[in-house]
């Protein structure tokens, strides 16, 4: 089975582990097209060639780089004709020009097609985006959805074809590992990882921690964004500035970071145009046997399962209560951490995601 995947996400080296795992499966010949770089609000991310064994990773030019809805890959048709795949995997949302463009070429070649979506809010786009989306939903053969809530959105929006719920990427449990020795039961380091934006709930986390005994905890915030200075001032105003540290870390340093904390907090807040789609940091932390305290926003409860504590989003008192419970219960922290790693090994490794993705390919070819 010859598979041509188009994916700007796979410029990230860590994500390429899934591609290696897919290529190891019998009967798969995989070629992956990525742009030389991708731009977003964090800057320019150049292609990282990290995990490249067993498949063909190629760059292809991109137009309107950084424009989420209207970027596309002008030479995709040439790549398609040269490779002649059985399946074209468009690792893009169905409302993007890149998806429409790749699907138009793929249909002319006779290849089976699928898209991937995290979209868990029913958004109405203006023309011409709405027209492109409608054509994609009518014309594609299959869909991969990151969560059940994303699947529900696309059913409402008019996609009636076959689908599978498969997260886009997993984690490598050989890299995201528990610490070699048990954590100090007297330690309580809370971690927060992500963009520092209002909807990520950083202010709620600070207010909740301010309710805990002052000398009993420490907060490590990893990330940057427009809320950084605001959060630093809030910590000072709450009298906890000395307990909070801000930093940025490369992705290669994240496994060690998770091994250094006792709890990961994910206090995200749903907004009219956003709610948490998955929370990759959740499965990274769980792989390191770190219990997670997460809000009820979006997919967070589904990802955490029984490996952490969930509180109503925006409820600072409940968040404080969850943190206080874990502060005083090292045994519960250990139990939740072990459940989390078991959950990752069962559902969220790169190998698991690769197998689920290839299973969807076989289902496509049999229909």
Q: Has residue 77 been placed in a domain?
A: yes
Same domain, 279 and 313: yes
Distance CA 222, CA 247 (A): 5
Q: What is the pLDDT of residue 275?
A: 83
Same domain, 12 and 22: yes
Using left for φ > 0, alpha for ψ between -120 and 50, and beta otherwise, residue 85 falls in: beta
Q: Which residue has the higher pLDDT, 120 or 61?
A: 61
Q: What is the pLDDT of residue 250?
A: 84
Mean pLDDT for the stretch of residues 277-281? 85
Same domain, 149 and 236: no
Q: What is the pLDDT of residue 261?
A: 97
Distance CA 156, CA 280 (A): 26
Same domain, 83 and 99: yes
Same domain, 102 and 10: yes
Mean pLDDT for the stretch of residues 29-54? 92
Q: What is the pLDDT of residue 365?
A: 93
Mean pLDDT for the stretch of residues 206-226? 95
Mean pLDDT for the stretch of residues 63-88? 96
Number of domains in the chain: 2
The pLDDT of residue 18 is above 80: yes
Q: What is the pLDDT of residue 141?
A: 97
The pLDDT of residue 359 is above 80: yes
Same domain, 199 and 300: yes
Q: What is the pLDDT of residue 234?
A: 98
Q: What is the pTM of this model?
A: 0.86
- 40: three-class secondary structure by DSSP: strand
Distance CA 301, CA 16 (A): 27
Q: What is the pLDDT of residues 146-166, one digit of tens each?
A: 988 899 999 999 999 999 999
Same domain, 154 and 250: no
Q: Has residue 115 been placed in a domain?
A: yes
The pLDDT of residue 42 is above 80: no
Portion of the chain with pLDDT greater than 70, in percent: 100
Same domain, 120 and 205: no
The pLDDT of residue 343 is above 90: yes
Same domain, 103 and 18: yes
Average pLDDT, the chain: 94
- For residue 238, the Cα-to-chain-centroid distance in whole angstroms is 32
Task: Provide the token pair at 82.
Answer: 């040269």
């Amino acid at each position: 089975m010859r598979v041509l995947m188009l994916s700007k996400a796979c410029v990230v080296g860590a994500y390429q582990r899934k591609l290696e795992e897919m290529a190891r499966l019998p009967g798969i010949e995989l070629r992956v097209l990525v742009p030389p770089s991708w731009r977003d609000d964090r800057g320019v991310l150049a292609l990282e060639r990290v995990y490249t064994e067993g498949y063909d990773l190629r760059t292809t030019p991109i137009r309107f780089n950084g424009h989420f809805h209207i970027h596309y890959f002008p030479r995709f048709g040439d790549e398609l004709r040269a490779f002649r795949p059985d399946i074209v995997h468009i690792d893009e949302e169905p409302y993007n020009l890149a998806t429409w463009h790749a699907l138009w070429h793929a249909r002319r070649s006779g290849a089976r097609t699928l898209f991937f979506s995290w979209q868990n809010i029913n958004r109405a786009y203006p023309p011409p985006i709405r027209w492109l989306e409608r054509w994609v939903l009518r014309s594609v053969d299959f869909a991969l959805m990151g969560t059940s809530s994303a699947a529900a959105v696309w059913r409402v929006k008019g996609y009636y074809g076959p689908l599978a719920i498969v997260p886009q990427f997993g984690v490598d449990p050989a890299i995201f590992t528990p610490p070699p020795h048990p954590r100090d039961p007297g330690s309580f380091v809370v971690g927060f990882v992500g963009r520092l934006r209002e909807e990520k709930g950083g202010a709620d986390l600070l207010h909740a921690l301010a309710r805990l005994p002052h000398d009993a905890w420490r907060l490590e915030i990893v990330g940057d964004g427009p809320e950084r200075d605001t959060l630093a001032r809030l910590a000072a105003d709450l009298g906890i500035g000395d307990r909070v540290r801000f930093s940025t870390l490369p992705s290669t340093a994240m496994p060690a970071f998770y091994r250094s904390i006792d709890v990961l907090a994910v206090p995200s807040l749903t907004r009219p145009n956003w709610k948490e789609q998955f929370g990759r940091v959740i499965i990274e932390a769980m792989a390191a046997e770190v219990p997670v305290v997460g809000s009820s926003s979006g997919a967070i409860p589904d990802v955490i399962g029984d490996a952490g504590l969930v509180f109503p989003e925006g409820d600072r008192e409940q968040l404080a209560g969850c943190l206080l419970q874990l502060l005083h219960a090292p045994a519960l922290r250990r139990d939740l951490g072990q459940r989390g790693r078991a959950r990752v090994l069962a559902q969220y490794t790169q190998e698991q995601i690769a197998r689920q993705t290839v299973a969807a390919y076989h289902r496509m070819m049999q229909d």
